[in-house]
Structure 1
Amino acid sequence: MRHFAIVGSGPAGFYTAEALAKAFGERARIDIIDRYPVPYGLIRFGVAPDHQSLKAVSKRYDKVAETEGVRFVGNVAVGSDVLVDELIQLYDAVVLATGAPNDRKLGIPGEDLPGVVGSAAFVGWYNGHPDFADLDPPLDGTHVAVVGNGNVALDCARILAKTAHEFEGSDIVGHALAALEKAATRTITILGRRGPHQIAMTPKELGELGHLEAASPVVDAADFPPLEADESLEPGHRKSIAILREFAATPPGSTKPKRMVFDFFAKPLWIEGDGKAETIIVERTELDPDGRAVGTGETYAVPASLVISAIGYSTPPMPGVPYDERHGHFLNDHGQIADRLYCVGWARRGPTGTIGTNRPDGYEVAEQIAAAMPVGSGAGKPGGAGLDSLLAERVIQSTSFDDWRTIEKAEEAQARPSSPREKFVHADDWMKVLGRTR
């Protein structure tokens, strides 16, 4: 028998479990460990609540969790409740699939002012993440600035722009929906250091903006290079640019009450305000021959009582695990950190790619593990039984996949009309459903 521990129950973790189960068959015993009592990681806490089709991938993960030999172990924080070194003693291999949940800093003066939040915090707030459920972002101002030119920036902007009616069918949490209904937001400025050709926004997410009930996208046609420059772009990226060009060609004068302004070639310099964010000062940029954004010296102010930074994420360091400070993920060689210690997903390569990108990543690492552990080699690790003993000694109550099903039914039972669920947003509430304390 081979025993494996996967730390993290998001896409990377489940794809790796799936791959290990296929590689080792009946010889595999796999524990998927998560610090929260509930599974799915990014799917539950990161994917936009109005993108239910993307969240449906969790059904595939359900099949993995229900595979014989696979076990979900929730409510266990690796790095504090249990150390990585202890897991290595208990299992034949340990795979870190912890994602990249920490916001990268803007690195500019004023970013510590009240009213400046990272996208992980803001997304976590409207998705019911327990670390951010009490964020209470200031929504009483008319202007919001979102810094970043990727899909997360679009998600934040779109959520701010939508009406309550447009959230029907979503699982946005109740406290966020109530706050957004009362929000005074009228202008959402999306700031990007470079131009339209350098965005990391996909056609689906951009296309949604053209169908919002109460908001119009605003793009300056002067920001684009000549039309023939689009021909050198990859097909998907070319489609994104075509959508932006359509927005730019739309005549002004929309009667919709909100505007979503794409401000390209804009580099944030500092944020200022009287005890809270009120204005973000930006510098106009241009591209040098290598495609880098360089300042022109021209500066201007963008009003914003809420500034959301969506410029990327990093993996938090973990005791005893080599870490790449510059790139914000674990030091690794094609997924291997050390003997019998591996990483996958964003913890391996940084926050790039789509949910599906994690599948080949997990399979590659599973192949490495299988190659290092041929049939008949080694044995004797205690695996899950050893972990259970350790948790019992430390009086840590883990949760199972059956426990998650109980929590899931409770969330579905309290859903508002047209919503698939109303999430519990504090870990204590999850445990109360199970009749336990955390």
Structure 2
Amino acid sequence: MATERPLPNLWHATAPAAPKTAPLTGAVTTEVAIVGGGFTGLSAALHLAEMGVKATVIEARMIGFGGSGRNVGLVNAGMWVKPHDLIATLGAAAGNRLLDELGEGPSFVYELVAKHGIECEAVRNGTLHMAVGDEGLKEIEEREAQWQKRGAPVEVLSAEKAQALSGAAGFTGALLDRRAGTIQPLAYAHGLARAALAAGAEIFTDTPLLAAERKGDLWKLKAGQGTVTARHVILATNAYGGVVADVPWKEYRQELTILPFFQMATNPLPEKVAARILPQRQGAWDTGLVMTSFRMDRQNRLIFGSIGRLDALAASTHRAFAARSVRRLFPYIGDFRFEYWWDGRIGMTTNNLPAMHVLAPNVVTVSGYNGRGIAPGTVFGRALARYVTGDSSAIPLAESPITADPWRNLKSAFYHVGAQAKHFIDRRF
């Protein structure tokens, strides 16, 4: 589990205000009830409303409370599973379709940003997958070869070019993916919500789903202080599904292993320093076993992230590791301090790919983005909207049964403790 206590989150400090919403207090009848106010749920609501279908979002906390408000903000193409491995898992037809749709995912995100005038610090100059050592270089070379066969504009950069484009020392190369980019993720979620409301959707915040009951061909959801009666239900909670209480399809919670991830943001850096770190403002992450990420925001803050949870025991270890890492990567940075820090959950599946389930009659979900929430969440939100309105082929995944992972709690604990142990010793010398 990720930290639930309030932490100083940069995205909350810099995002434009969310549209005005309120808790549900009465009875609502709708065509589609959407549980979860993140990228997937908001995209589904927007596209349903644009089709003239009444859609109602119920969010247990606030818009973007979960992964959408804690995301690194990298708008990546595809999944992190290599194309050949993805096809080997899903088969040629399904695998190629998923790769095509998610490969175009960043374009779809930036089209929505432009169409709806979403102020979210959108930059589309690509992302950099930084290679750690010879093994890391081999990995990104394999990714380059596989994506280039599909016509993707990806390119492996030499160590020298990687350092020039990232400003970071010590990497053996980088894979530049020109399809991708960065956004302020919570600002994007707020923008999707505003667009959905303008199109006619309803959004109720501070409205947790408490129970669900099937009555005839309708679902009656007890939510907050009210009820929602709907023909269809889209479950869009992903790694934050633990907030859902007594529902007849609650076994879906057992599929995802939770990978904790934290981020820390510096004070605004001096212009001369900021100009050297990711001068074209790509976002970056590395091939390390315990992955790290870094990017800049519009205020010239450096945002550094890695695996781990900022609980009372681990926070100081992760903070010290982040400070050492920043100085190692950017030895010219000078004095800096972390002004913001926050953590979140990544929902991991056993095959590292998303899954689509029909949990009950007219109850559908897609979850397990495995660290790639922005573009896949937006794409699958649109697909779910089309699916519940009658297009049974809209979702680029085959329906599958829930496959509970009996080791999920143990693996989650291992990620937490293992990352803390590695960060305690890493980059000290």
Q: Same fold (TM over 0.5)?
A: no
Select the structure that is richer in strand. 2
TM-score with structure 2 setting the length: 0.25
TM-score with structure 1 setting the length: 0.25
